[in-house]
Amino acid sequence: MIIRPVKPSDVEPLLDMLLASGQFNQDGLHHVQKTLTHYFSGQSADLWFSAEHLGLAGIAYCAPEVMTNDVWNLLMHWISPSHQRQGVGHLLINEIEKELTIKQARLLLVETSSYVDFSAARAFYT
């Protein structure tokens, strides 16, 4: 398993993975693509990491929280169904934590939904 910054060749597999999940509509996918375009421009402080194992296994994205100092928000943490419950999520979170430690962040916000579909995500973070 390789954890690394997202690269442009990850965009299409990422969008395909999100679309297949049924959790993102076209507007949501457009927003993800727009955010990645900004990230690749070099004008963004955001962090995007991918997990790769025979293709895209997962993704983690966090950004500085608006109007705060050294506070970050984990906005996306997505693992492909074929790689869930294999430690990929932990590897991505570890990479985010390592990078935020270097940046001397003081807080990482993590939010999940109360929908039944997100029960595994809530269990992951507790």
Which CATH number characterizes residue 32's domain?
3.40.630.30
Q: What is the pLDDT of residues 78-123, one digit of tens each?
A: 888 888 888 899 999 999 999 999 999 999 988 776 666 656 666 6
Indicate the number of domains in the chain: 1
- Whole-model pTM: value is 0.85
DSSP bridge pairs for 74: 62, 110
Q: Are 51 and 3 in contact (CB under 8 A)?
A: yes
**Cα 53 from Cα 15, distance rounded (Å):** 17
Residue span of the structural domain in which 66 resides: 2-125
| Full 3-state SS string of 98-116 | HHHHHCCCCEEEECCCCCH
Which residues contact residue 5 at a Cβ distance below 8 angstroms, ignoring those fewer than 6 apart? Answer: 47, 48, 49, 50
